[in-house]
Structure 1
Amino acid sequence: MSHFTASNPDFAQQLVSAVTAMPMAKWLGLRFCDVRLGEVKLEIGYREELSFTPGKMQATAIFAAADFAAVAAAGTLLPVGWVNASIDCNLKIVAPGDGEKLLARGRVITPGKMITVCAADVFSVRDGKETLCATALATARNIDTGRH
């Protein structure tokens, strides 16, 4: 149960639509599995063009999963007419991304009006077994588009 309050009742649908419309998200094949206030779960399937050697995801794909998950989690708390963007993300890779897909769980650490601190854990999934491969701490800049 989330301890956050939704200022935008359509936050989940709007977030998923906005993120999955991004060219990079499309190219990565990013798919949301779950969206809740302050939390998201998304996945990126293994593809050869995302690997640095056959069977192992390149660090850039792992970073993208972490960044998208963390900042999307922050996006769930935005009011109508606001968007956000990454301004900082620190990733620590702790194991190879050598599964069939990456599963990233993003969460809000500290929300704010202009800046939200968020985090994500990225798991390599093989045969249904999750292995932590990276963790990230990120900062999202919240931007008023003026479209309320």
Structure 2
Amino acid sequence: MIMKPAYVASNPDYAIQLKSLVLAMPMAKWLGIEFVKIAPGEVELEITCREELSFAPGKMQATAIFAAADFAGVSAAGTLLSAGWINASIDSNLKIVAPADGEKLRARGRVVSSGKLLTVSAAEVFSVRDSEEVLCATALLTARNIELQRK
């Protein structure tokens, strides 16, 4: 059994900062991302299925699935950033394992390895129907941690 490291956020306002940064992004707004959980090294979010995110009635398109995984994994990495830092996706690998044909997508991201400049995270994306989760994708992501310019 693999033990999860217990991460501690160095920024006491990590959840507020993360949520405001992500939800200010036009893509996050358009997707309708809703954060369910934000904890050091972990994020859970949901995206409600709707027609413009599908490739056929009731079937979520791969891009929406990838977005859920990317936002969850990179956001999990963002929970460990110091104040004055942001991050951005630089690499990812998504494997779709089942159709996303539920009412919403639920993505859980978690940090795998945290460093000063790079953070690796993983995410699982579930298709949710009538509160039942079916794994539809798994991802491994790398984020570049970026210190904001000081004035």
- Range class of TM-score, shorter chain: over 0.9
**1:138 and 2:114 are equivalent in the alignment:** no
Corresponding residue number in structure 1 for 2:19: 16
CA distance in 2, matches of 1:111, 1:147: 23
RMSD: 1.3
Corresponding residue number in structure 2 for 1:33: 36
Measure how far apart 1:28 and its partner are.
0.3
* TM-score under structure 2 length normalisation: 0.95
Corresponding residue number in structure 1 for 2:97: 94
CA distance in 2, matches of 1:56, 1:67: 19
Measure how far apart 1:47 and its partner are.
0.5
- In the TM superposition, what are the counterparts of 1:64-83 in structure 2 within 5 Å? 64-83=67-86
* TM-score under structure 1 length normalisation: 0.97
- Structure 1 residues 10-55: Cα deviation after superposition (integer angstroms, max 9, x where no partner): 0001100100110000000011001000000000000000000000
Distance 1:14 1:132, change over 3 A: same
Contact 1:82-1:146 at 8 Å conserved across structures: no
CA distance in 2, matches of 1:47, 1:67: 19
Contact 1:56-1:98 at 8 Å conserved across structures: yes
SS in 2 for 1:96: coil
- Structure 1 residues 76-123: Cα deviation after superposition (integer angstroms, max 9, x where no partner): 000000000000010000000000000000000000000000010000
Corresponding residue number in structure 1 for 2:115: 112
Structure 1 unaligned runs (5+)?
none
- Aligned residue identity for 2:90: I
Measure how far apart 1:147 and its partner are.
4.5
| % same residue | 70
Corresponding residue number in structure 2 for 1:126: 129
Moved over 4 A (4+): none
CA distance in 2, matches of 1:4, 1:105: 16
- Aligned residue identity for 1:66: A
